[in-house]
Structure 1
């Protein structure tokens, strides 16, 4: 338990490895205070709604394409204005406010079926509604004024972000693609360090730290570029960015294959000299080239093309010298030649990217390589299709919407009875804390409550020694900018400065300088209600969800290997598009499994006895994929009948074993024993006609790589077996079941 509390404390205080969003913070501060100052000067009614509209709408601006930002901000403004008007009317009738809160909040929380942007809009609309219910006016006209003032504040935020602080339409896409090359450069540098004789576990750490992060960066760039190109006639810049994105993805895959080859080399292959020194130099030069691509992509101007001098020639020269002296075994020679081939291919991909990046602006030019495939636009299903798909208690979105609706309604009902000062702080806390999953809800509750306590204490100190309205407004502008700037770093820090800002704003408007303790008490009440609703209303532990996510990742591994096996059976090289699609699917499935595991760690009732098998499953799912990536880089396999027969047996057994492993993880049973892959391929059979000997003679490198693949599967199999032998995590007496759905 002590270890668990320490882990939660670390999670609360953990900072994300990103920079503060300074521009977003300044925009949010201007969006809040300019309408307030104008409203106060013109004596307009509803200053609070002006500030709420400006803050919430600027908060929605997450970047991306110009069109997507305008659509998200405009939709949120309309939804919030409608919620303010309806909430102000409903607040006049307490008997009506309770059932309508349940319907309104549940409906807007259910908007998450349409994606992340709709989920943010729904949360803001629900929050605006409960604030309006707690601050009813004196009739329909007041309700209309509330909605109009909120819409005015939101309009100002949109003008500020989209007009007065304009962006180039392709700038978000260029920055997203440049981030891909930056991630590739980091990976190449890390790979060069690990290749110089680091600890044995450094290879595994490299995979854990880099692969998921780079895949997420590539997916962000893909989504941003797709949204930017939709509805645009101009194709030159967009096509070049697509070529650059494909080049970054290809360089990432090339580095994964290189890492697998380099790890398989083991200690230095020669006592006289290690040819990997040439590889280390080439990797560092590759990282410099990727940094050049970052600069060229971001600055978008015709620039002098860098002329990198690295490739596989230096390694091939070193191999020739060592081979002449007889210092290399046949397998070592084959592996190092493969490394040289991969370096040369990596240089070719970098050349394509450099040629494209140097001509990024302007129309297409003759000789520019066309993109291999067009980015697929996201499908646009009918409005009813997502609703129908999620109208079941098996849907996490519906369960979450019902949880939020019931818990928020309970908060409104409690507020209507006890009428605490600023009661909407209770309901806002509930809406802010509650997440679809238990772990993130618990973490956010800790950050919200602790941040509110710290911010409330700061507000007490500030209100004690600073009560000059003009100086207070200047301070509040800074704290508002800070709170939004710090959101990417840590939600707890955001809460500290948000509490300080809005408590002092409320005190400044009302003249009551004792609201800080009220904010703390209301936040604690809201946090307790949010946790109670999460744990007792249709809650499903991540322990139940993780096996399905892990099984999906294993099946994606199976599909990736299946693309290779299908090509080998036909005697062809794997199709690039099929490989790219299978690889992307695998990357996303693995990210989903890792995210589920992190949520599992954050759940307060999780026991640590069974963690090691799950961590091994996650780690070696990526390792299996890395070996498949190396195999996919092969141009061909030996074409003799004996080799084809051996490969056919191996691939069939591998496919069956992977499917059984995924099914075992999903249904919580021990996996069946693995087949003897060595016997299937005939390895170590001292018969001249044996398929295994033919494979070893004709393709020693392929034999070594398939052995490596079988070892990765063996580790996955062992982890799944140990998972079933580990004791189950205890369930608290207060929660007899992990599923309380009726």
Structure 2
């Protein structure tokens, strides 16, 4: 299948589309059924409860999803009663809006899912502002909201019980898809027509995506008891395949070389084009496997074809050794060839996901305790709330910012702009205002563009399609699309959400032109308030937090360098400990890259040394890749330990010292891993392989020194700002 077909299959078999269909059904069905029986208002209230609870149903372990939905149900019911009581007086209602906007935003101290619970409660309050129920009707209204929330939660949990492994398969498929794209980007480094700086920028950006997908799978698999206990063939295969995927990611990242020199030496021979072609073919095969796992359909694979292509590339490289212009200097090409062979082998291991015999041969003992160390724990402790009641807390500052913005929107809607749907202003603020300014700015832009485009699309449908049945069918499609893209492409969500709302209001007998005009005006006002609050009220600039991400990356690489020194010194390292160190390196590097990307979307005046920061991000990636490459070589050579000559020790010591100095410059109070470089192995005359090892260690020293030079500039800039 071609790339477009694979993308479509990924979409229609993915978690986002499944959630989009479920949200659409849970919202639409109560309103349609009760509307047929003459109780549309009751059905609409039930649908509102489903909408609010759906906000908390983000991907993750079933127990976490269930707990989040139950917490949302409790807050939705209580806020409904409180809003009904406060609605007797506009000032009292405004006070409630201010208090709840602060408290619900503070829930972020317990993580993203807790923050989503707060968002669900705020959304319920905002929707109630349109037509607050009378006190006598408040219990019934709250009960209907709870019924809608229970309806959605029940639907979600039943879907999980019917297909318990489906979310994990979908998440694993998406993870492999992201990894295939990462591998495809590596092929660009062998294309002499591309700019290496842009290649690195794209690769680091995709590294962020891969890390996000791996964390999602890790959280989902290792927190699901039914999977990690490995009581079934499917559960074992999921765990084994994910572990193989992480190892494959390591093999892909270790393939770093001096691409400028490689291009200059071999660019005219044409061999680099063949290397890039093979990498793209392997990436395509990996992408096919991702689709197969996500759809749970076996893929025959093209392993023999890839092996044959690798053999041809090997013969091509061997032929170059006789070229006088190359003078036998093909060592780097042979390293690339060996790495590609290992990648192809690991892709074949992932293909064996569909081999039940492989899972049956795996140990049947529980590994739940072993796997839990790979996932971060988020405890719900009340003291965390008190500890964050300070201006030093980003969550507290955001809560204050949200409170001021929501009160401004409420007062403006009640006094100056009293439209039929003026609550849209407050809704826009609660949705648009994010902890970081970069995301707030991006969401505001997408909201404005999407609202205008969605208004035009909805108007076009209503003008061109006069038949109610056809309009309703289009409305359903638009709802599914809107809710399917809400976590990935917000612009698409806004376009189709606006269009389907216009069609829905037309069914209710309202003038769609008037509704479109009001929605556009309300959106512009709400976005202006959210943007201003994000820019002027305790703004959260990424450049002010980059030093923390840099320190975390340096600390992780120092620990990674220590395990390399331990291996060279002949000291064993447990596999799980190594995987934890590797995970820390990948997570810290991805967090740093993501923060850098966010900084680039902020105003130019708020960006500090973007060129040097990008250089630091790239050097950090190169350093971890080369440490991983050396570690992989030593793991393959085990149990034999290669000689560790004094020159190698000096190189490692210098590299560690440079990284330690860099960490001290960035964060003087940071804890620094200590590295011991004494070896118990005898010193022997250096062979060709040992000289190659020494060259790699010297390269680590060079990269570490370059990082030191960059951090010196960045630290000087930081001191100047303070």
1:669-680 equivalent positions in 2, closer than 5 A: none
Q: Residues 258 and 630 of structure 1 are in contact (CA less than 8 Å); yes or no, is this contact kept in structure 2?
A: yes
Counterpart in 1 of 2:674?
Answer: none
Distance 2:330 2:191 in 1: 17
Counterpart in 2 of 1:677?
Answer: none
Report the more deviating stretch, 697-706 or 720-729. 720-729
Q: Residues 301 and 360 of structure 1 are in contact (CA less than 8 Å); yes or no, is this contact kept in structure 2?
A: no
Distance 1:297 1:706 in 2: 40
| Of 680, 692, 697, the match for 1:701 | 692
Counterpart in 1 of 2:245?
Answer: 248
Counterpart in 1 of 2:546?
Answer: 546
The answer to whether 1:89 aligns with 2:89 is: no
Q: Residues 297 and 360 of structure 1 are in contact (CA less than 8 Å); yes or no, is this contact kept in structure 2?
A: no
Counterpart in 2 of 1:100?
Answer: 96
1:195-344 equivalent positions in 2, closer than 5 A: 195=190, 199=194, 201=196, 204=200, 207-208=203-204, 210-229=206-225, 235-236=231-232, 237-260=234-257, 267=264, 283=279, 286-287=282-283, 290=286, 293-294=289-290, 297-298=293-294, 300=296, 308=304, 310=307, 332-333=330-331, 335=332, 338-339=335-336, 341-343=338-340
Q: For 1:611-663, what per-residue CA distance to the aligned partner results, in whole angstroms no more than 9, with x for missing partners?
A: 2112111122111111111111122699798x443333322222221122233
1:379-390 equivalent positions in 2, closer than 5 A: 379=377, 381-390=379-388
Counterpart in 1 of 2:613?
Answer: 614
Counterpart in 2 of 1:720?
Answer: 711
Shift of the alpha carbon at 1:437?
0.8
Counterpart in 2 of 1:685?
Answer: none
Counterpart in 1 of 2:151?
Answer: 156
Distance 1:135 1:385 in 2: 37
Structure 1 pair 230–113 and aligned structure 2 pair: CA distance change class (3 A): farther
Query: Which consecutive unaligned segments of at least 5 residues does structure 2 have?
Result: 1-6, 670-676
RMSD across aligned C-alpha pairs, in angstroms?
A: 4.5
Shift of the alpha carbon at 1:446?
2.3
Distance 1:326 1:605 in 2: 51
Distance 1:316 1:157 in 2: 57
The answer to whether 1:556 aligns with 2:556 is: yes
Counterpart in 2 of 1:35?
Answer: 30
Q: Residues 48 and 148 of structure 2 are in contact (CA less than 8 Å); yes or no, is this contact kept in structure 1?
A: yes
Q: Residues 244 and 357 of structure 1 are in contact (CA less than 8 Å); yes or no, is this contact kept in structure 2?
A: no
Counterpart in 1 of 2:701?
Answer: 710
1:221-620 equivalent positions in 2, closer than 5 A: 221-229=217-225, 235-236=231-232, 237-260=234-257, 267=264, 283=279, 286-287=282-283, 290=286, 293-294=289-290, 297-298=293-294, 300=296, 308=304, 310=307, 332-333=330-331, 335=332, 338-339=335-336, 341-343=338-340, 345-346=342-343, 349-350=346-347, 352-359=349-356, 364-365=360-361, 374-376=371-373, 378-379=376-377, 381-418=379-416, 420-421=418-419, 422-456=421-455, 473-488=472-487, 490-506=489-505, 508-509=507-508, 511=510, 514-568=514-568, 570-572=569-571, 575-604=574-603, 606=605, 610-620=609-619
1:121-160 equivalent positions in 2, closer than 5 A: 121-139=117-135, 141-160=136-155
Counterpart in 2 of 1:684?
Answer: none
Q: Residues 27 and 58 of structure 1 are in contact (CA less than 8 Å); yes or no, is this contact kept in structure 2?
A: no
Q: Residues 171 and 216 of structure 2 are in contact (CA less than 8 Å); yes or no, is this contact kept in structure 1?
A: yes
Distance 1:425 1:325 in 2: 71
Q: TM-score, normalised by structure 1?
A: 0.79
Pick the structure with more helix per residue: 2
Query: Which consecutive unaligned segments of at least 5 residues does structure 1 have?
Result: 1-14, 669-679, 681-690, 731-737
Distance 2:481 2:316 in 1: 56
Structure 1 pair 517–651 and aligned structure 2 pair: CA distance change class (3 A): same
Distance 2:417 2:324 in 1: 88
Q: Residues 563 and 578 of structure 1 are in contact (CA less than 8 Å); yes or no, is this contact kept in structure 2?
A: no
> Paired residues, what number?
691
Q: Residues 243 and 371 of structure 1 are in contact (CA less than 8 Å); yes or no, is this contact kept in structure 2?
A: no
